[in-house]
Amino acid sequence: MDERTQKSPYVPEPERALAMLGRLLLAWDGQWFLKTAEACGLERAVELNARVRRSFARIEVREFLAALGRGPASDLEEAARLLTAYSRLFLGDGMDGEWKVENGGAEVVVTRCRPQDGAAKAGLKPDTPCIACEGLWGAWLEAILPGSAWETRIEAARGRGAPACRIVVRPKAGDQPKREGS
């Protein structure tokens, strides 16, 4: 913000502005999805949303790293820390997730997901955002660990009745992410 907006009574404090922008971005996404479903049908909207979400993941990571003034993660552990920080920045209290990195892969347990909550409020099938989520984790990792390739398995999903989502990401066959110091 410049001097003119910092002192204006019409500009929220930076933390409030960030939270507002995160909510607005999710609302924009939700409205785009609902209008696409109206125009093209739910099945096509779900397919397009998954493609857009995967593509946007690369943009998110690139912009987040640039804002931090740094390059890609050095290994999967650092990637997990960076992506946790990003999701908390973007979704605030709208996502609670914990990464467990081991054996060259990771398990992510998500106990709160604002996109899934929003789908339920909109009257959509509760697992509608789960379909886009399947491509998200691998896309994030491929962007933050360039040259890597990932497979994602959704072992459990809140949108499918589980108390928490359990997402497993593993390097694709023949691909091993680099480790600290290698």
Instruction: Tell me whether residue 179 is in a domain.
Output: no
Sheet strands (E) in 46-141? 95-102, 105-113
CATH of the domain at 40: 3.30.1380.20
> Looking at residue 180, what is its pLDDT?
47
> Looking at residue 70, what is its pLDDT?
97
> Looking at residue 91, what is its pLDDT?
80
Instruction: Tell me whether residue 153 is in a domain.
Output: yes
Its domain, for residue 79, covers 3-171
User: If you average pLDDT over residues 48-62, what whole number do you get?
Assistant: 93
147: pLDDT strictly greater than 90 = yes
Query: What is the number of structural domains in the chain?
Result: 1
| Cα–Cα dist 141/19, whole Å | 24
> pLDDT tens digit string along 110-136?
998 888 888 888 888 878 878 888 889
Instruction: Tell me whether residue 51 is in a domain.
Output: yes
User: If you average pLDDT over residues 15-27, what whole number do you get?
Assistant: 86
More confident site: 74 or 118 = 74
DSSP letter string, 5-50 = HHT-TTS--HHHHHHHHHHHHHHHHHHHHHHHHHHH-HHHHHHHHH
182: pLDDT strictly greater than 60 = no
